[in-house]
Amino acid sequence: MALRAEARTTGPGGPRGRCGPSPAEGGRPPRAPPPFGQPLLPESPRPHRPLSVESAPRCPAVSPGAGLAPMRLYTLSKRHFVLVFVVFFICFGLTVFVGIRGPKVIQTSAANFSLNNSKKLKPIQILSNPLSTYNQQLWLTCVVELDQSKETSIKTSFPMTVKVDGVAQDGTTMYIHNKVHNRTRTLTCAGKCAEIIVAHLGYLNYTQYTVRVGFEHLKLPIKGMNFTWKTYDPAFSRLEIWFRFVFVVLTFIVTCLFAHSLRKFSMRDWGIEQKWMSVLLPLLLLYNDPFFPLSFLVNSWLPGMLDDLFQSMFLCALLLFWLCVYHGIRVQGERKCLTFYLPKFFIVGLLWLASVTLGIWQTVNELHDPMYQYRVDTGNFQGMKVFFMVVAAVYVLYLLFLIVRACSELQHMPYVDLRLKFLTALTFVVLVISIVILYLRFGAQVLQDNFVAELSTHYQNSAEFLSFYGLLNFYLYTLAFVYSPSKNALYESQLKDNPAFSMLNDSDDDVIYGSDYEEMPLQNGQAIRAKYKEESDSD
């Protein structure tokens, strides 16, 4: 052992450690093996002092990043990567299957009125079916049938009046606003007239409602009117409660396991992905909304507004995560707040502000006016829509720029290249599935009128709801699995950094002449020393 340690620290140029300068770094080239019959080491005029193993020079460990907490991603083989994606698709497929077998989201009940040809209509009073808190919300829509040729196209605006009263359990009528609401609506007919949303109640305080609708100012020959009540199906509400509860429990378990796996590493040593996962997992817990059952226990608009706020926070944090990771993976070291984080927070913050403003504005106005629709009654809606689209386009272009820059600069760097490829592949799969779901749901209209959620953009079946929630949850679970350290990560990293253990398995030839293993490139963290050993033995 003394001879091996001495050979590590001595050389032609004086004392040199095992990790001394290579020829490329300005050092001397390795000395050729001596001819047969000559001593391996020249005789020294004075005896060498044995060097203990503990005093051997410490070489930098072959690790993904100096001082960074290891990731399970580095230890996965190709078979393990395939298995990760297979498990992801199986879990996602199970949620879609349960959703397909589940109930419909919207429950409808029609009330048709046959009217004589008349240009003047009297107010129509409509009584809803008995309701419960599981119905969540209530819409009243109307389709007008004109007494004219179907080939005729008409687009006209007219004032419509609505008065909503609540009916208590004892049958008494309670005045909600005690006034008649008047709004201008546009009737568009091209063969068949488009549906008009008469009133919308965001939360239900009464078991029944009476709506009085007036079309007195509609100066057209009307053949009939089809009124439709639309509410959430109570069966879907129960399914939503259970699945949100399951996702809340799973997210809590995953968050605890992820935090437990990183407890032995200092937060300064966490990678940027691990730091962001410690933020996204708690936000995912809020995205699943543990307070959602309160909307069935409390007759208030607050639980619904909290749900919208939590969803916008998580989605915008996910957008910010993609920007920071694709940029931060190239910037190792200190990331300045002014140049690194501020532009990203500004872009994503504008998106979050626009979505939250529209949601809160819609909720507050509906509390005072059931006829309010931000798309129809907000004068600045088109300006807000253009603003949102411009900021979204800037975000997409910025993200594409960061992805292309990262791929071009890091494609030949071990470990970092693996992190980049895995995140890009999994994110691409999630985005493709999301686009497919949106296209199947809305068709070509997804780029036209469906700006933010309203009745036309609510889920039509349980599969749409579970596919979106399941997709985002399983996406975060997969990232948490691959970014968390393995069970023995701390022990392996300490063993690798200890020079006493790193010298035990070296042969005398490796000590004197060096080892090919020290100069070979890393291949996704997989040790292939055995391959080089076999080649050297065969020679």
pLDDT tens per residue across span 509-534: 444 444 444 444 444 444 444 444 45
The amino acid present at 29, given as its one-letter code, is P
* CA-CA-CA-CA torsion sign (192, 194, 198, 199): positive
CATH 1.10.8 is right for the domain spanning 72-103+235-485: no
Q: What is the pTM of this model?
A: 0.72
Distance CA 449, CA 390 (A): 16
- 107-232: what fold? Jelly Rolls (2.60.120)
Mean confidence (pLDDT) of the chain: 74
Percent of the chain with pLDDT over 90: 21
Task: Quickly count: other Cβ atoms within 10 Å of residue 71's Cβ.
Answer: 25
Which tops the pLDDT comparison, 365 or 302? 302
CA dist 301 and 283 (Å) reads 22
Is it the case that residue 475 has pLDDT exceeding 90? yes
Residue 194 confidence (pLDDT): 85
Of 395, 401, 297, 390, the closest CA to residue 346 belongs to: 395
Domain limits, the chain: 1-11+50-69+489-512, 72-103+235-485, 107-232
Closest Cα partner for 138 from 78, 216, 193, 211? 211
Confidence category of residue 288, pLDDT binned at 50, 70, 90 = very high
Give residue 1's pLDDT: 41
List residues bridging with 144 in a β-sheet.
225
Quick one: tokens of 283? Answer: 């936000």
**DSSP code of 104?**
B
Q: Is the pLDDT of residue 275 over 60?
A: yes
Instruction: Tell me the CA distances in angstroms from 116 to 150, 219, 221, 225, one per residue in order.
Output: 18, 14, 9, 11
Is-contact 115 213, C-beta < 8 A?
Answer: no
Q: Both ends of the chain: CA-CA distance in Å? A: 26
pLDDT tens profile 132-180? 889 888 889 888 888 777 777 888 888 888 888 888 777 666 766 677 8
pLDDT number for residue 322: 93
What average pLDDT does range 69-82 have in this prediction? 85
Which residues are within 8 A (CB) of 75 and not within 5 positions of it... i.e. 6 or more apart? 486, 525
For 215, the 3-state DSSP assignment is coil
The span from the CA of 218 to the CA of 124, in Å, is 14
Tell me the pLDDT tens digit for each residue of 309-363: 999 999 999 999 999 999 888 876 667 777 788 899 999 999 999 888 877 877 7
* Confidence at 128, pLDDT banded by 50, 70, 90: confident
- 264 or 333, greater pLDDT: 264
Q: How many C-beta neighbours within 10 Å does residue 375 have? A: 16
